[in-house]
């Protein structure tokens, strides 16, 4: 099976989910599902179809989309099974850090001035 996500790869999601995440939840089939969900969420929240425009975007914009999508997908990987972490607090702390980064990235992508900047880049 191959990566089907547009914005990020399974390996990038695995790195963010950490070494203690479930082997099942970081499997490519699961991550592909998480990436589809994350990409759809990003497109819906920002009211712009980044997936369709992806090939025309500059590297900075692609990097931001990669960050947000992999953050969201890593959250799904961690929350699937937290039993491998040294404590539930460790897993929750990782989720909180990833959530904060995803929310920051979504806010940037939603900003109309940033959209104008992206269009001109």
Higher pLDDT residue, 116 or 34? 34
Which tens digit of pLDDT belongs to each residue from 76-105?
A: 999 999 999 999 999 999 999 999 999 999
Segment 61-84 shows an average pLDDT of 96
How high is the pLDDT of residue 1? 65
How high is the pLDDT of residue 121? 66
User: Is pLDDT at 117 greater than 80 in this prediction?
Assistant: no
% of the chain residues with pLDDT over 70 = 98
Higher pLDDT residue, 117 or 110? 110
Q: CA-to-CA distance for 71 and 74, rounded, in angstroms?
A: 5
Which tens digit of pLDDT belongs to each residue from 17-49?
A: 999 999 999 999 999 999 999 999 999 999 999
């Amino acid at each position: 099976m191959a990566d089907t996500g547009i914005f990020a790869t399974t390996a990038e999601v695995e790195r963010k989910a950490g070494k203690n995440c479930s082997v099942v939840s970081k499997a490519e089939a699961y991550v592909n599902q998480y990436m589809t969900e994350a990409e759809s969420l990003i497109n819906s929240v920002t009211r712009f179809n980044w997936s369709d425009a992806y090939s025309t975007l500059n590297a900075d914009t692609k990097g931001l989309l990669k960050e947000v999508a992999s953050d969201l997908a890593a959250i799904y990987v961690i929350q699937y099974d937290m039993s491998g972490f040294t404590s539930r607090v460790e897993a929750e702390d990782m989720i909180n850090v990833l959530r904060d980064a995803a929310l920051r990235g979504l806010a940037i992508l939603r900003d109309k001035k940033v959209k104008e900047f992206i269009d001109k880049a």
